[in-house]
């Protein structure tokens, strides 16, 4: 796993790419438009060796305008300099690699007076060696599509003499785009040298028919409630694998969600270990005990079997009662602890939780540990985002702790919003000592040309926005506090200057600036939209919505923002925000009038012991107690100090309802509550969002709007008390909870209005 790279002249090449052949020691591939070299493949090339040849020919033709011949070993011409690929290159190159390490994707690239030789330990290494050559010639794959690729143009192409051996820091590297990475993403992954020896990197569920526990969803691991679990896995392995001394990996683990077995045996295995994030018993020890037993039973016939499992949620905390077998591979998947910052960032105490867990697990000296994090803003509709801090600071620490596999989940990839994150991550996975600042300078210069300085400012200020903020909520709620007017003006200013600097409307630089600018404009439209929504102005919000959807569709068509998802405006937008916009518009513009919008800030009290109803928190009028102001639609409750609070809480507010609505029906409407609400007006119970007296059947729920008929409960011309009891026991990773949308009284034009 140790990274050892011999780079001769690679850094010089970055700045002085094409010096005349006579002046330095280099292999000339193309000279003044004349072919001087040829690609030599082995007799029966492997797929990746052939691909290496194809990629060299394609890109060198793009650089120089001429096509290199590709021949097999026997057909080599005497008058051309050989570029020997894979098995056509000297086998001694493999020994050069093995001196440094044996990672699957490793390669050696030698350029000297005899020509160029590229050979990997495997064909994939040969392919990656070809990519190294092309990068030394100035080619960059910053993101997929033509707009993301940089190819210099020059009639001469030459490679400095060198003996380069590269062994990746991380043995296996992969982006897992759950909903696709868009057009060209597969090709981009390979050109970014993700890959390595394929292996199980963990899975949900335990194979072999292990019986469910008391709650059904998870397994009974102790066997106390439902016996036979260990035998089931052991038999499954014996039936599916021949006895072997070779190393192999079997993925198994808990299912998503709760539903843990509560039988006496399972509880006893966990003992009194505690998960402080969820305020419930940790579930680690029962798993460690179970896997230890499975590996023990199979030890004689499968001494190198490894179990790969997810360390996340209530299994993230290191075990306290059982020492894990070193052949248990822990896969860190920290979904709910600030996915934006690095774990040494002082602005993110949350992220230090990962460091704490990692250190604890590393103490058991496991053979391997993997990382399966998230490089997107979870449940966000693909708005601009930046992860440089995490990449630069966290990947080297993970590596130092012994993590050798990075498989990172990106649920939604938007290249226009976050082009740097995957690019930089792939580089640092390959080489944890990579010079990130140098890579960034190279990116700004090559990608934006004359607009590089303002674009550097844009990306640096975007990164600072996330890196230096005290706010941490995942999902699009993060954007409300971070992108205040001053920061928006600053970022927009950089982009406007960049547009002026990019030479000519038609240049590729101008196109790239437009792409990044459109992503930012889309975010601004979203913020304007939310601002209008939160002050119950659904007439204005509708105009902005049309513009936002049009822009999103345009960007989807260009491949800049991907995933249309269900509904318009981007996948999570359709789920979390569109319903309240459409519902509010229908009620206050199309079919009725706004009577009174409720304020953003309410009086708030948590109620962990659930005494609120007994104490009468729902009563009308003045009420004592330690109520605190809390914002609702403009800021998540995690970002107001409630952190991961799960449980009951109360909201109260007073509003005067105008007397002019005398004789009309009055409804109380909520834009969204995470996740359950029970509602009173002037002490009178109106119902719950699960069972509203007059609601939206089948639609009520988290982030879905709902109504109550409140005509009989309200007092016109007087002050009215609205009381809401919320329960938050789901969706921990969003960082939201309680009232998450605007609330208003409204009146339909038609007194027989139905939802
Ligand atoms: Zn059990």
For residues 332 and 357, the answer to whether their CB atoms sit within 8 Å is yes
Centroid of ligand 1 to alpha carbon of 229 (angstroms): 10
CB-count exposure of residue 79 (10 Å: 0-12, 13-18, 19+): exposed
- pLDDT at residue number 731: 66
Is the model's pLDDT at 8 over the cut of 60? no
Centroid of ligand 1 to alpha carbon of 358 (angstroms): 27
- pLDDT at residue number 11: 40
Centroid of ligand 1 to alpha carbon of 356 (angstroms): 28
Centroid of ligand 1 to alpha carbon of 281 (angstroms): 14
Q: What are 680-690's pLDDT values in tens digits? A: 999 999 998 87
Centroid of ligand 1 to alpha carbon of 250 (angstroms): 22
- DSSP, collapsed to helix, strand or coil, labels residue 648 as strand
Over pLDDT 90: what percentage of the chain?
74
Give phi and psi for 579, each to the nearest 5.
-60, -40
For all residues of the chain together, what is the average pLDDT?
A: 91
Centroid of ligand 1 to alpha carbon of 269 (angstroms): 9
For residues 221 and 293, the answer to whether their CB atoms sit within 8 Å is no
Report the half-sphere exposure of 290 (CA within 13 A, side-chain side): 31
Q: How confident is the model at residue 563 (pLDDT cuts 50, 70, 90)?
A: low
Centroid of ligand 1 to alpha carbon of 223 (angstroms): 6
Centroid of ligand 1 to alpha carbon of 264 (angstroms): 7
Centroid of ligand 1 to alpha carbon of 209 (angstroms): 15
- pLDDT at residue number 15: 39
Is the model's pLDDT at 51 over the cut of 90? yes
Centroid of ligand 1 to alpha carbon of 482 (angstroms): 45
Give phi and psi for 151, each to the nearest 5.
-130, 120
Centroid of ligand 1 to alpha carbon of 271 (angstroms): 13
Structure tokens at 581: 């916009």
Structure pTM?
0.91
* Range 610-630 average pLDDT: 95
Centroid of ligand 1 to alpha carbon of 729 (angstroms): 23
- DSSP, collapsed to helix, strand or coil, labels residue 661 as helix
Cα–Cα–Cα angle for 107, 110, 111, rounded to 5 degrees: 145
In the 8-state DSSP scheme, what is residue 88?
Answer: G
- pLDDT at residue number 533: 97
To the nearest 10 degrees (0 to 180), the angle between helices 485-501 and 508-534 is 160
What pairs with residue 668 in β-bridges?
Answer: 708, 745
Q: How confident is the model at residue 663 (pLDDT cuts 50, 70, 90)?
A: very high
Domain covering 593-748, topology: Jelly Rolls (2.60.120)
Q: Is residue 369 left, alpha or beta, with left meaning phi > 0 and alpha meaning psi from -120 to 50? A: beta
Residues 6 or more apart in contact with residue 140 via CB below 8 angstroms: 149, 150, 442, 443, 446, 447
For residues 226 and 211, the answer to whether their CB atoms sit within 8 Å is yes
Q: How confident is the model at residue 564 (pLDDT cuts 50, 70, 90)?
A: low
Domain positions in the chain are 10-167, 229-449, 463-576, 593-748
Centroid of ligand 1 to alpha carbon of 230 (angstroms): 12
Q: How confident is the model at residue 305 (pLDDT cuts 50, 70, 90)?
A: very high
Centroid of ligand 1 to alpha carbon of 212 (angstroms): 8
Q: How confident is the model at residue 695 (pLDDT cuts 50, 70, 90)?
A: very low
* Range 389-406 average pLDDT: 94
Centroid of ligand 1 to alpha carbon of 203 (angstroms): 21
Q: How confident is the model at residue 12 (pLDDT cuts 50, 70, 90)?
A: very low
Is the model's pLDDT at 739 over the cut of 80? yes
Is the model's pLDDT at 694 over the cut of 70? no
In 178-316, which ranges are E strands? 195-196, 248-251, 274-275, 280-281, 305-311
- pLDDT at residue number 499: 96
Lowest mean pLDDT among 100-109, 556-565, 711-720: 556-565
Centroid of ligand 1 to alpha carbon of 226 (angstroms): 7
Q: What are 110-135's pLDDT values in tens digits? A: 999 999 999 999 999 999 999 999 99
Q: What are 533-558's pLDDT values in tens digits? A: 999 999 999 999 999 999 998 988 88
In the 8-state DSSP scheme, what is residue 222?
Answer: S
Centroid of ligand 1 to alpha carbon of 241 (angstroms): 28
Q: Could you count the other beta carbons within 10 Å of the beta carbon of residue 662?
A: 8
Centroid of ligand 1 to alpha carbon of 731 (angstroms): 25
Q: What are 503-518's pLDDT values in tens digits? A: 777 899 999 999 999 9
* Range 306-322 average pLDDT: 93
Centroid of ligand 1 to alpha carbon of 258 (angstroms): 14
Centroid of ligand 1 to alpha carbon of 239 (angstroms): 25
Q: How confident is the model at residue 413 (pLDDT cuts 50, 70, 90)?
A: confident
Centroid of ligand 1 to alpha carbon of 221 (angstroms): 6
- DSSP, collapsed to helix, strand or coil, labels residue 35 as strand
The DSSP H or E segment spanning 514 is: helix 508-534
- pLDDT at residue number 245: 97
Helices of type H across 204-246: 229-240
The DSSP H or E segment spanning 643 is: none
Centroid of ligand 1 to alpha carbon of 266 (angstroms): 4
Structure tokens at 340: 């934006």
- pLDDT at residue number 226: 95
Structure tokens at 162: 């060198």
Centroid of ligand 1 to alpha carbon of 267 (angstroms): 7
Centroid of ligand 1 to alpha carbon of 236 (angstroms): 20
Centroid of ligand 1 to alpha carbon of 666 (angstroms): 52
Centroid of ligand 1 to alpha carbon of 560 (angstroms): 48
- DSSP, collapsed to helix, strand or coil, labels residue 118 as strand
Does residue 518 or residue 570 have the better pLDDT?
518
- pLDDT at residue number 505: 73
Centroid of ligand 1 to alpha carbon of 289 (angstroms): 12
**Strand pairing of 115-120 and 140-141?**
unpaired
For residues 218 and 260, the answer to whether their CB atoms sit within 8 Å is yes
Is the model's pLDDT at 484 over the cut of 80? yes
Centroid of ligand 1 to alpha carbon of 285 (angstroms): 13
Centroid of ligand 1 to alpha carbon of 216 (angstroms): 10
Is the model's pLDDT at 9 over the cut of 70? no
CATH 3.40.190.290 fits 10-167, yes or no: no
Instruction: Give the whole-angstrom CA distance, residue 365 versus residue 402.
Output: 9
Centroid of ligand 1 to alpha carbon of 283 (angstroms): 11
Centroid of ligand 1 to alpha carbon of 261 (angstroms): 5
Q: What are 271-291's pLDDT values in tens digits? A: 998 887 777 889 999 999 999
Instruction: Give the whole-angstrom CA distance, residue 714 versus residue 393.
Output: 56
* Range 639-645 average pLDDT: 86
């Amino acid at each position: 796993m140790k990274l050892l790279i011999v780079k001769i002249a690679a850094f010089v090449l970055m700045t002085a790419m094409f010096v005349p052949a006579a002046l330095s020691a280099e292999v000339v591939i193309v000279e003044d438009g004349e072919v001087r070299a040829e690609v030599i493949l082995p007799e029966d090339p492997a797929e990746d060796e052939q691909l290496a040849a194809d990629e060299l020919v394609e890109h060198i033709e793009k650089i120089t305008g001429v096509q290199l011949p590709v021949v097999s070993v026997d057909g080599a011409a005497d008058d051309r300099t050989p570029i020997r690929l894979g098995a056509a290159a000297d086998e001694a190159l493999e020994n050069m690699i093995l001196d440094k390490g044996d990672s699957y994707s490793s390669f050696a690239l030698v350029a000297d007076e005899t020509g160029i030789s590229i050979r990997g330990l495997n064909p994939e290494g040969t392919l990656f060696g070809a990519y190294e050559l092309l990068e030394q010639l100035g080619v960059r794959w910053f993101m997929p599509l033509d707009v993301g690729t940089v190819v210099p143009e020059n009639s001469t192409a030459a490679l400095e003499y060198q003996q380069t051996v590269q062994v990746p820091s991380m043995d296996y590297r992969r982006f897992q785009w759950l909903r696709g990475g868009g057009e060209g993403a597969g090709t981009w992954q390979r050109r970014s040298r993700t890959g390595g020896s394929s292996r199980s990197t963990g899975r949900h569920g335990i194979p072999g028919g292990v019986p469910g526990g008391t709650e059904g969803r998870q397994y009974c691991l102790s066997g106390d409630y439902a016996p036979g679990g260990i035998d089931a896995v052991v038999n499954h392995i014996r039936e599916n694998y021949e006895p072997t001394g070779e190393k192999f990996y079997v993925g198994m683990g808990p299912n998503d969600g709760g539903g843990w077995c509560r039988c006496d045996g399972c509880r006893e295995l966990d003992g009194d270990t505690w998960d402080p994030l969820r305020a419930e018993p940790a579930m680690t020890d029962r798993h460690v005990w179970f896997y230890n037993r499975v590996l023990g039973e199979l030890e004689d016939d499968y001494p190198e079997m490894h179990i790969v499992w997810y360390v996340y949620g209530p299994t993230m905390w290191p075990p306290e009662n059982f020492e894990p077998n070193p052949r248990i591979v822990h896969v860190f998947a920290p979904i709910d602890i600030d996915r934006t910052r690095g774990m040494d960032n002082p602005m993110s105490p949350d992220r230090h939780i990962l460091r704490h867990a990692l250190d604890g697990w590393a103490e058991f000296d496991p053979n391997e540990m993997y990382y399966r994090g998230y490089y997107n803003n979870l449940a966000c509709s693909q708005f601009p985002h930046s992860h440089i801090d995490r990449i630069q600071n966290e990947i080297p620490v993970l590596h130092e702790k012994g993590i050798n596999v990075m498989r990172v989940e990106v649920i939604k990839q938007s290249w226009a919003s976050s082009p740097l994150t995957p690019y930089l991550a792939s580089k640092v996975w390959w080489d944890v000592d990579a010079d990130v600042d140098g890579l960034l300078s190279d990116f700004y210069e090559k990608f934006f040309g004359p607009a590089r300085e303002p674009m550097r400012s844009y990306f640096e200020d975007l990164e600072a926005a996330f890196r230096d903020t005290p706010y941490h909520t995942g999902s699009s709620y993060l954007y409300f506090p971070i992108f205040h007017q001053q920061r928006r003006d600053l970022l927009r200013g950089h982009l406007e200057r960049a547009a002026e600097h990019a030479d000519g409307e038609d240049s590729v630089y101008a196109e790239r600036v437009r792409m990044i600018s459109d992503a930012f404009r889309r975010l601004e439209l979203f913020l304007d939209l939310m601002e209008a929504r939160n002050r119950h102005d659904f007439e204005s919000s509708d105009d902005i919505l049309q513009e936002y959807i049009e822009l999103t569709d345009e960007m989807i068509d260009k491949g800049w923002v991907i995933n249309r998802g269900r509904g318009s405006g981007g996948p999570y937008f359709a789920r979390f925000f569109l319903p309240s916009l459409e519902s509010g518009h229908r009620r206050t513009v199309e079919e009725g009038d706004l009577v009174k919008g409720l304020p953003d800030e309410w009086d708030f009290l948590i109620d962990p012991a659930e005494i609120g109803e007994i104490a009468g928190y729902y009563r009308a009028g003045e009420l004592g107690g330690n109520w605190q102001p809390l914002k609702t639609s403009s800021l998540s409750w995690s970002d107001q100090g409630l952190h991961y609070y799960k449980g009951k809480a109360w909201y109260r507010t007073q509003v005067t309802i105008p007397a002019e609505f005398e004789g009309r029906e009055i409804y109380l409407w909520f834009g969204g509550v995470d996740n359950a609400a029970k509602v009173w007006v002037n002490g009178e119970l109106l119902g719950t969002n699960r069972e509203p007296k007059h609601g939206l059947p089948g639609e009520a729920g988290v982030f879905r709007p709902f109504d109550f008929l409140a005509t009989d409960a309200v007092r016109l011309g007087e002050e009215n008390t609205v009381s809401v009891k919320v329960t938050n026991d789901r969706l921990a990773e969003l960082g939201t909870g309680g009232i998450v949308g605007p609330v208003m009284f409204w009146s339909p034009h038609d007194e027989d209005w139905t939802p």
